[in-house]
Amino acid sequence: MPKYNTFITDKNGQRVDFVLDVAKRNRLAMGMRDGTLTVRVPYGCSKQQLESFINNNLGWIKEQSDKAAVGLPKEFCDGEKLRLLGSFLTLTLVQADKYFPPRIENDKLVIAVNETSDRDYVKEQTTKFINDLTVAEITRSMQKMSDATGLVPNKVTIKPLTASWGRCISNRHISINSKLIVFRRECIDYVCLHELCHLVHMDHSKDFWALVEKFCPDWKSIREEMKGR
């Protein structure tokens, strides 16, 4: 049977969307990838068994969903969740007679709107705020770690990367993944330090990791925190 998208209403009255994967297997299981929940069940699994399995794992589902939150919203609508600098925020649209720049207040990213504001406007305001924050935070972190180590790259580029959080090439050019903005500052510091250390060791040898540890003793726990993101 092919996989297909479906949902249930959980015991708290909340909708849980997931991909149902029915196949020849012995037990029920679930996984989360890129924010999408997949529930794997064996042939003959009843609706009652499925709902009970999901309800018994709501805590895990919430924890994994929180971890999967990304820097930019997908719908750019009021109440949507996003993650910046390790904190979860709610995109909040506020009717205002006078424009004010987007700002973080408590656990909210507040965007000023009026009766003419559409989704494109909200997207533009939100995206610009996050992009500006990203450049400022990564620039700060790179300068901080460069000052600490005495290592200076020839060029630093901030852009989306698909396979890594950072990259350093032989001409001493460093690229830092703009998606790092979802993590707390200590994680951003670690990635900048990691790439700076490649200016000395262009590999992941024991000497490389020794240099990283000299300036970031808890690098192992930070790497573990960033896994799967």
Q: What is the pLDDT of residue 165?
A: 92
Q: Output the pLDDT for position 219.
A: 96
Q: Domain map of the chain by residue range?
A: 4-67, 81-130, 133-226
In one letter, which amino acid is 61?
I
Helix runs in the chain, H state only: 47-55, 58-67, 119-149, 185-197, 206-215, 219-226
SS3 state at 43: coil
User: Which tokens is 160 given?
Assistant: 């989306």
* Residue 229: per-residue pLDDT: 56
Average pLDDT value for residue range 223-227: 83
Given a cut of 80, whether residue 69 has pLDDT beyond it is: no
Please report the pLDDT score of residue 70 as a whole number: 53
| Rounded (5°) CA angle 136-103-131 | 35
In whole angstroms, what is the distance from residue 168 CA to residue 21 CA?
40
Is the pTM of the predicted complex or chain greater than 0.75?
no
Question: Which band of pLDDT confidence, cut at 50, 70 and 90, is reported for residue 194?
Answer: very high
Phi then psi dihedrals of residue 19, to 5 deg: -95, 125
Q: In the predicted model, what is the mean pLDDT of residues 188-200?
A: 97
Per-residue pLDDT for 35 more than 70? no
CATH of domain 133-226: 3.30.2010.10
d(CA 176, CA 89): 23
Distance between CA 105 and CA 93 in Å, rounded? 12
Tokens 């709610």 belong to residue: 90
Given a contact cutoff of 8 angstroms between Cβ atoms, the answer to whether 180 and 165 are in contact is: yes
